[in-house]
Amino acid sequence: MAGNNLSPRQKMIGMMYLVLTALLALNTSKEIINAFVTINESLESSVGNMVSKNGLAYTTFEKQMVNDKTKTEPYYKRAQQIKKLSSDLDKYINVLKEELIRETDKIEKGAKTRSLREVEAKDNYDVPTHMLCGDKQDGHGHKASALKAAIDKFKKDVIAVLEPKDQAEFTTRLNQLFNTKDPDPKNANDKLLIEEGKRTWEMANFYHNPVVASVAQLTKFQLDIKNAESEIVNHLLSSIDATNLKFSDVMPKVVAPTSYVIIGQQYEADVFLAAYSKTSAPEIVVGGSTLPVEDGMGKYRVSPRTPGEQKWGGMIRVKQPDNTYKEYPFESSFIASAPSASVSADKMNVIYIGVDNPISISVPGVPAEKVSFNAKGVVLTPDAKGGKGHFLAKATAPGEASIDVVAAQGDKKIPMGSFKFRLKRIPDPVAKIGGKKEGSIPKAQLAAQSAIIPVMEGFDFDLFSKVKSFKMSRYGKGRDPIEKTSDSNTLTGDMKTIIEQSRPGDKILFEYIKATMPDGTTRDINSISLTVQ
């Protein structure tokens, strides 16, 4: 709802929060954890700024009450109700944030609550997940559900305060700002959440997030509350003299769809006066050039060529009744980013030869259908189970592979980076019998075994190999060695007889073990040395 009133800084904070939340699924590094602390502090600063801004609106209401109480009082009373509803929900969230921090760091009752930066267990996700979502698959019935109910009640109560003619419009805006619906499988972004098991609003916002992310999310809700309060209260204030256009009180506004763009992508912004006259369009000048004006809004467009913060500004000139001009200077900024992309091996940082390796390819802020790539040294095919942006990579020889990513921006193809991967063969399996590869084993346990099993120890892929042949030998004190060979993975009848006739202290060796691998190779793998108990 209040998205059009957010400053470029606030929009950048929101975008950084979304990017960091996505990165949590890949790597909860110290840098990401600390970045959430910085995001939370920026959000808290923005909340403070909004409180100050709203305070000015209430001060204006007080002055209007002195000037014309009869006309002002109905709107003033509504504004006070909105103020209380906003304050109550803000306090509710503050208490929830304190409970999260106190429970996470086990702070004793009566002790001072720490700031998020002072929290010791910043990466703890068990406490916030248990407190907010509990152990259920849907996250219902805990503090996240209570928060959702409080937000829905806030929306309902706020709408009830407004005049009937404004209720439909603000209902739509509030629902957009405070979307408490469960993820929609028809929505591409929501579909990814659902595939991760986050099928409810509670799970999507709080499940398995470290405490820094949960607190930052709650602070974001507080900023949304204050933005909603700001827009509604200022709407009530402007309604006092809705038919009168007073330029003495207006302020210039700059509204952009985004304050974060990629090099080569066009940045757009609308520059306008909050109140304007259709019969007297303002003159808007930026960098010495006059902008085209439509419905009181100047259309500013520029394509940045260097990364970093891009500051810009100008002057709005409004013609007065005496043919003089009143000038309103303004300034704004946006962030231009160098091309970036994300290509990750879902299992590990190498690609193994002869098997399907899950790979994810994405570009922040760019839909999957507008991202393309050129792979060298490896073949990528779409992963039907993984969905958009997920592929299966297959290599045939050791070495190095590269994946060049390109994003479509309008009619341009923008390189987003090149990513290299090592190509390695699948590691050898470890041969075991009865779960052992060495040491002592009871004769009965060994006699009960029927085959040698190759195990892929410490390997993330669900791959299986099979023993194709091996030799078994028995050595015992005062006894002649006996050797037998099997042309499969199973023990022959002679081998089983030898094991049953073994004595405590006899050595049973399984050697020259050959195993067939999923990549089509045959490997000589480890020997098994066992002592009969």
pLDDT in tens, 328-387: 898 887 767 666 565 655 555 789 998 899 999 988 767 788 899 999 999 999 999 888
Q: Would you place residue 452 in the very low, low, confident or very high pLDDT band (cuts 50, 70, 90)? A: very high
Quickly count helices (H) and strands (E) in the chain.
11, 25
- Measure the CA–CA gap between 429 and 516, rounded to whole angstroms: 10
pLDDT for residue 201 = 94
| Nearest residue to 204 via CA among 221, 219, 182, 222 | 182
| Nearest residue to 42 via CA among 256, 215, 177 | 215
Q: In the sheet that 308-319 helps form, which strands lie side by side, from edge to edge?
A: 260-262, 325-337, 308-319, 283-286, 289-290
pLDDT: is 59 or 2 the higher one? 59
Residue 233 · residue 20 · CB < 8 Å: no
* pLDDT > 90 in the chain, percent: 52
- Measure the CA–CA gap between 456 and 477, rounded to whole angstroms: 35
Using the structure block, give the residue that is written with the tokens 């309604």: 239
- Measure the CA–CA gap between 459 and 342, rounded to whole angstroms: 24
pLDDT: is 437 or 462 the higher one? 437
pLDDT for residue 243 = 41
> What is the tens place of the pLDDT at every residue in 29-53?
678 888 889 998 999 999 999 999 9
Instruction: Give the start-end residues of each E strand in 49-114.
Output: none
* pLDDT > 70 in the chain, percent: 84
| Nearest residue to 21 via CA among 176, 152, 208, 153 | 208
Amino acid identity of residue 477, one-letter, is: K
Residue 388 has pLDDT above 60, yes or no: yes
- Measure the CA–CA gap between 491 and 86, rounded to whole angstroms: 75
Helix (H, G, I), strand (E, B) or coil at 464: coil
Do the domains 342-424 and 252-338 match in fold?
Answer: yes
> What is the tens place of the pLDDT at every residue in 496-508?
999 999 999 999 9
> What is the tens place of the pLDDT at every residue in 61-84?
999 898 888 889 999 999 999 999
What average pLDDT does the chain have?
Answer: 85
Domain boundary assignment for the chain: 3-244, 252-338, 342-424, 430-532
Residue 191 has pLDDT above 90, yes or no: no
Other Cβ atoms less than 10 A from the Cβ of 397: the count is 9
pTM: 0.44
Q: How far is CA 252 from CA 5, 51, 255, 398, in A?
A: 12, 20, 10, 61
- Measure the CA–CA gap between 52 and 385, rounded to whole angstroms: 50
- Measure the CA–CA gap between 507 and 475, rounded to whole angstroms: 5
Residue 517 · residue 498 · CB < 8 Å: no
Q: Would you place residue 244 in the very low, low, confident or very high pLDDT band (cuts 50, 70, 90)? A: very low
- Measure the CA–CA gap between 43 and 36, rounded to whole angstroms: 10
Q: Identify the helix (H) or strand (E) that includes residue 302.
A: strand 297-302
Residue 265 · residue 300 · CB < 8 Å: no
Amino acid identity of residue 47, one-letter, is: V
User: Which whole number is the average pLDDT over 298-307?
Assistant: 82
- Measure the CA–CA gap between 198 and 142, rounded to whole angstroms: 15
Residue 436 · residue 527 · CB < 8 Å: no
Q: Would you place residue 221 in the very low, low, confident or very high pLDDT band (cuts 50, 70, 90)? A: very high
Helix (H, G, I), strand (E, B) or coil at 479: strand
* CATH superfamily placement of domain 252-338: Immunoglobulins (2.60.40.10)
pLDDT for residue 61 = 93
Q: Would you place residue 322 in the very low, low, confident or very high pLDDT band (cuts 50, 70, 90)? A: low
Residue 414 has pLDDT above 90, yes or no: no
User: Which whole number is the average pLDDT over 505-527?
Assistant: 94
- Beta-bridge partner residues of 475: 507
pLDDT for residue 3 = 45
Q: Which of 9-18, 89-98, 416-425 has the lowest mean pLDDT?
A: 9-18
| CATH class of this structure's domain 342-424 | mainly beta
User: Which whole number is the average pLDDT over 231-248?
Assistant: 73
Residue 2 · residue 220 · CB < 8 Å: no
